[in-house]
Structure 1
Amino acid sequence: MTNAGRTGLLACAIAVCASAAMAGANAEQCARPYLAAPYSDCNNDLVADLPADPALWRNPPTLVWAYAPIEDPAVYAELFKPFTNHLGQCLERQIVYYPVLTGAAEIEALKSGRLHFAGFATGSTVTAVREAGAVPFATKGIGDEVRGYRLIAVVRKGSPYHKLSDLAGRRVAHSSPLSNSGNLAPRALFPEQGLRPDIDYMPIMSGGHDKSLLGLVAGDYDMAAVASDVYERMADRGMIDPESVRIIYESPLFPTSSFVYAHDLDPELSSALERCFFGFLFPPEMQAEFNGDTNFIPLSYKDSWATVRDVMGRANAMAE
């Protein structure tokens, strides 16, 4: 090994040790109201620190991961096969994809240690960080461009509803409690448009964005609050006909799903995982499914999720 290589390894080791020391030196002093116990955040990046004791770091021979159940989990199990295989070769260990049925189940699996890394929906990312020690490190994009999605309000084309305030007293589908565009953003943003959840209408939890849209088309709901990227994917697959519906509201742009690892992964493993993520180019089927996204991009949770945290704070304040 060259002197430069030895110097690099030494610098890396020092950085890891310094990070661990920071995490544990004043764990109680670094407890934060935005993180559940026992997580701490000494460097104020809003995510849980690495445990100070290396004995608590995990580096298992088999890694289990999951992706947000925004739609049918079976769709993603097949779609991510090339990526799962890539990770297995890149990390030289077994990688198991575990389909989860709800965002809450995914968060609990990460918290309990059954998942080592995962892809979370936008709103669930915040809950996973706060309650399960998730460390977001990547999102999807094109090259260096991070793209997003919007909350949209969709009605049937022939309906008499043209603005949100027209939906007072009607059947409005939300997707699930932890969903950003499917529940939290409507609660924060719809009142500005004259439509107050739980007052002007009682949200009906459909169980998913796809279920909200299919229920809308079937006549079960008068309006569906969903993510624009899910709407676009379903239209591309022919699951809904864009000519049969109308979009009467669009929100500002939100970031897309995040990819996280558990805060207690061995730093060498988490670094290798990041390297393998960022070295993967989406095959054509993944690009088609994810609206043209081509690769994973590094993210800063503190910066990229600021708008989402604000929306969640406003939604929770309105619910109190």
Structure 2
Amino acid sequence: MKNKMLSRIIPLLLGLLLSLPAQSRVLVLGQVSERPDKDYEQLRPMVEHAAAQLSSLGVSGGDVRLYLESGELVAAMRRGEVDWVTETAYTAARLVHEAGARPLLRKWKRGQRDYQGIIYTRADSPVHGLNDLAGQTIAFEDADSFSSYYLPRMLLEQQGLQLRPMESLQQSAEPGLVSYIFSRTEENNALWVHKSLSAAGALNNNDWDNPTRVPPGLRSDLRIIYRSASYPRALELVSAGLEPALATALRHLLLSMTPETSAELLARYEQTTGFEPILPDDMQLLNDIYESSRTW
């Protein structure tokens, strides 16, 4: 009798559980940022819009969380505190390999589908190629930057050059090595090279062409000595723990947004002009980035 009662009650309980609405959750968008106030205002409208559109899947709201460096973002995603990330390839590679993140889409950021890393010097400098930087200094922008740290460093190492970090601009370059320091901003990067505080600098071609970041008065006295191949401008990723149905719905939502249908929202989202599917070579690129940077 007892077994018969259980056989009737269990299906009823299962039916009740399945009929309950999905547990509400906040969708969290994360990024590495040194300008939290500005970046928060850029990201907030998009995650709030996505949360509203995905409410039928149990999303009750959207939030933005910003981190000073990629290691903090990796740890937060591991702890399940971040669901969705918009980042460049270097941080994306770390998130994939260290936090199990899944690439969702490519992002056209600031109107660019892809971009290049450039290395430059003063127009009157004796430096004309990468090998001339042995015994000289170079200013990278930030340790989490793909185009202004990972990429130029990789290019220099592929030339057989060894790099050494500097604590300040007052340090002397070490003979035979490329000594590097972080400028933290694009403006500092250009100024340091222009004032010969650093023999060379590294930026992406979008920053190089942006007059608010490299004023024309400075750029006219500078000269590019190396331009890399093109790489994805930015990627959207989701955490390993994000429900597959929610990740799929987010992907479809972003792909449906165009400058014609969502101009203002996309413009606020780091001047995005659209999204496109991940390409077959993108995972290999992220693998290569991660493997080559592990010894740094």
TM-score, normalised relative to structure 2:
0.72
List runs of 5+ in structure 1 lacking aligned partners. 1-57
Query: Does the CA-based 8 Å contact 2:187-2:213 persist in structure 1?
Result: no
Give the CA deviation at 1:223. 1.2
Letter in 2 for 1:138: L
> 1:12-161, aligned counterparts within 5 Å?
60-69=24-33, 72-92=35-55, 93-141=60-108, 147-161=113-127
Letter in 2 for 1:154: Y
Q: Does 1:164 align with 2:130?
A: yes
Query: Does the CA-based 8 Å contact 2:28-2:47 persist in structure 1?
Result: no
1:267-298 Cα deviation digits (max 9, x unpaired): 2221222122222235368559967x521112
% identical equivalent positions: 23
Greater radius of gyration (CA): 2
2:288 is aligned to 310
Distance change in 2, residues 1:285/1:218 (3 Å) = farther
Give the CA deviation at 1:153. 0.3
- Tell me the distance in 2 between the aligned counterparts of 1:160 and 1:285: 47
Give the CA deviation at 1:307. 3.4
Letter in 1 for 2:212: R
1:252 is aligned to 229
- Tell me the distance in 1 between the aligned counterparts of 2:233 and 2:53: 25
Query: Hey, which of these two has a bigger chunk of strand by percent?
Result: 2
List runs of 5+ in structure 2 lacking aligned partners. 1-21, 165-175
Q: CA RMSD in A?
A: 3.2
1:265 is aligned to 242
Q: Which has the higher mean CA deviation after the structures are superposed, 250-259 or 187-196?
A: 187-196
Query: Does the CA-based 8 Å contact 1:62-1:95 persist in structure 2?
Result: yes
- Tell me the distance in 2 between the aligned counterparts of 1:208 and 1:133: 30
Letter in 2 for 1:103: S
1:79-126 Cα deviation digits (max 9, x unpaired): 334423421321233111223222222222212222111112211111
Distance change in 2, residues 1:215/1:186 (3 Å) = same
Give the CA deviation at 1:218. 5.2
2:215 is aligned to 240
Query: Does the CA-based 8 Å contact 1:138-1:258 persist in structure 2?
Result: yes
SS of the residue corresponding to residue 247 of structure 1 reads: strand
Instruction: Pick from 177, 191, 214 the counterpart of residue 200 of structure 1.
Output: 177
SS of the residue corresponding to residue 152 of structure 1 reads: strand
1:108-163 Cα deviation digits (max 9, x unpaired): 22122221111122111111101111111111139xx9821112102233433222
- Tell me the distance in 2 between the aligned counterparts of 1:186 and 1:163: 13
TM-score, normalised relative to structure 1:
0.67
SS of the residue corresponding to residue 89 of structure 1 reads: helix
2:274 is aligned to 295
1:279 is aligned to 256
- Tell me the distance in 2 between the aligned counterparts of 1:210 and 1:262: 34
Give the CA deviation at 1:260. 0.7
Q: Which has the higher mean CA deviation after the structures are superposed, 214-223 or 152-161?
A: 214-223
